[in-house]
Chains A and B, each alone.
Chain A
């Protein structure tokens, strides 16, 4: 499949994000099922995921810049801007929906705070996870929209 420099970067970044944060959330679910979450362990896991993600994105950028130095040097143009604008719109919409769902969920958990599930879910280390999930999902949707934009040509 013939892909442009920017399209390759976007697809690889999307796969890296799914891989890194998919692993992160799987670990969180496993830990939450085993018992109360240890905030410092969760923070360590999050920092680890961010560091790995950053290194992967830098690595992807370097590999493709070496592979296509001319394309890497070219500044983005109006079509890139149009594709990015549409991608950010989709990402923002997903983030907005996610925030509304998360806030509704938190309010609901407070109402049901007597139940064991609500007590587990209302731990600070656990409360932040749905918000983080929606941020990552919004970012994934943004990248997917960009990738589709580049694939379709506009």
Chain B
């Protein structure tokens, strides 16, 4: 499977939010921990809505969490 062209900074953002765990982020945005793991690793591109929920969980704009790499 081709790697996603959408990069993310979720790992760094979790670190800067008091080492937030993947489970804590998953609970905040309403998905399973496996989904957070898959998004963080770039294996799954979330829906726009989930992307916004993740950005809201870190209180940052969407483009600070996800970047499109053409």
What is A's interface to B at a CB cutoff of 8 Å? Answer: 4, 6, 71, 74, 76-80, 82, 150, 152-154
What is B's interface to A at a CB cutoff of 8 Å? Answer: 1, 30-32, 34-35, 37-38, 41, 43-47, 50
- Determine the residue in chain A with the shortest Cβ distance to B43: A153
Subset of 8 A-B contacts with CB under 8 Å: A78-B31, A79-B44, A82-B44, A150-B34, A153-B44, A154-B1, A154-B38, A154-B45
Contact among A80, A82, A154 with B32 in the assembled complex (CB-CB below 8 Å): A80
Roughly how many angstroms separate A6 CA and B53 CA in the complex, as a whole number? 24
A152 touches B43 (CB 8 A): yes
B32 touches A77 (CB 8 A): yes
- If over half of B's interface residues share one DSSP class (helix, strand or loop), that class is named, otherwise mixed; here it is loop
Roughly how many angstroms separate A88 CA and B44 CA in the complex, as a whole number? 19
A152 touches B1 (CB 8 A): yes
A153 touches B31 (CB 8 A): no
- Distance in angstroms from A48 CB to nearest chain B CB is 36
- Determine the residue in chain A with the shortest Cβ distance to B45: A154
